[in-house]
Amino acid sequence: MLEHPLELPLLEPPAAHGQADTPTHTRSWRAALALDFQESRGRTVLRHRHTGPLRVQRPLYPEGKQCQVHLLHPPAGIVGGDHLSIAAHVHTGASAQVLTPGATLVYRSTGDVARVSLDCTVESDACLEYLPHETIHFNGAASRGNTRIALAANSRLVFRETHCFGRPQAGEEFLSGEARWRTAVYRDGAPSWIEHTVIGAPNWLNTTAGMRGHAYSGTLIATPVSTDGCAALRNTVTDPHTVLTSVEGLLIARYLGDDGQAWRRTSEQLWRALRPAVIGATAQAPRIWAT
């Protein structure tokens, strides 16, 4: 039990919805998780609170000061009507690394929309690495996602987001369904980068402004990174499906292609190169990435 309970988003009681093809649920899952990272005696201490099937494993300290946590969602996937809400607050002087053990699955919907919310606050002189695996949208899935990251003037961030539409390895295309995801990064209250992604099958999968016929879309955001630092990294990226951009100290790496493993390798290569300057620590790959 927490000494001082953390605030969690209010969620409506679960409501019945239509069946999905996989898995078979009769009621929606509503889950929320609040993570609070604070510096204490030279290391980062985690306090957390959850409602519903969204948890964390015990905090790990593979590097000493930084707190590493793995997000656990026992149902493994979400269907229409489900709502996952995560809030992370990294206080001054703290350092956190948030990972997931596997992909997030969005199953086919019969009408209701699955929702995922992420709200991160990184205070002055604090670090956050948020590096989940991909979100896989099954054919017929309907989802809404909203990510908001609020940074202080000198806070540090490495963030990765990956979406796969359909299941290419199983020969399944995303022929019906829709995904609307918003990602916004703010620095001292001012917007640094805001993106709205709208993928409606089948039209937006093949248009020039959409997926251009590809299945995977990946984004890696890191800050602070100078324009010269971005240019140097650009010369090391060999994957033709990945491009790098620098916007006012924010590095943005984008992937659009059909090989999720290639994007994972490229994003991890970038993370290794960026980590010493951005986070202030050498790149030690999390053990879970090798499983």
User: pLDDT, tens digit, for every residue of 150-202?
Assistant: 999 999 999 999 999 999 888 898 999 999 999 999 999 999 999 998 888 77
What's the mean per-residue pLDDT of the chain?
88
CB 134 within 8 A of CB 116: no
Residue % of the chain over a pLDDT of 90: 74
The strand ranges marked E within 124-215 are: 127-131, 135-137, 142-151, 156-165, 178-187, 190-200
Instruction: Give the H/E segment covering residue 268.
Output: helix 260-278
Domain ranges of the chain: 31-290
Query: Which amino acid appears at position 87 of this protein?
Result: A
CA 223 to chain centre: 16
- Reading the block at residue 76, the tokens are 């493994």
Confidence at 138, pLDDT banded by 50, 70, 90: very high
User: pLDDT, tens digit, for every residue of 72-124?
Assistant: 988 879 999 999 999 999 999 999 999 999 999 999 998 899 999 999 999 99
CB 202 within 8 A of CB 148: no
The string over 36-73, giving b where at least 16 C-beta atoms fall within 10 Å of a residue's C-beta and e elsewhere, is bbbbeeebbebbbbbebbbeeeebbeebeebbbbbbbb
Round to whole Å and give the CA distance between 176 and 145: 18
Question: What is each CA distance from 123 to 3, 66, 74, 153, 246, in whole angstroms?
Answer: 22, 15, 30, 8, 22
Query: Which amino acid appears at position 258 of this protein?
Result: D
pLDDT of residue 27: 66
Confidence at 211, pLDDT banded by 50, 70, 90: confident
Q: The pTM is what?
A: 0.88
Residues in the chain: 291
32 pLDDT more than 60: yes
Round to whole Å and give the CA distance between 34 and 118: 10
CB 137 within 8 A of CB 174: yes
Round to whole Å and give the CA distance between 84 and 118: 9
114-122 β-sheet, strand order = 43-51, 30-40, 83-90, 114-122, 142-151, 178-187, 190-200
Sign for the CA dihedral angle at 196, 192, 33, 272 comes to positive
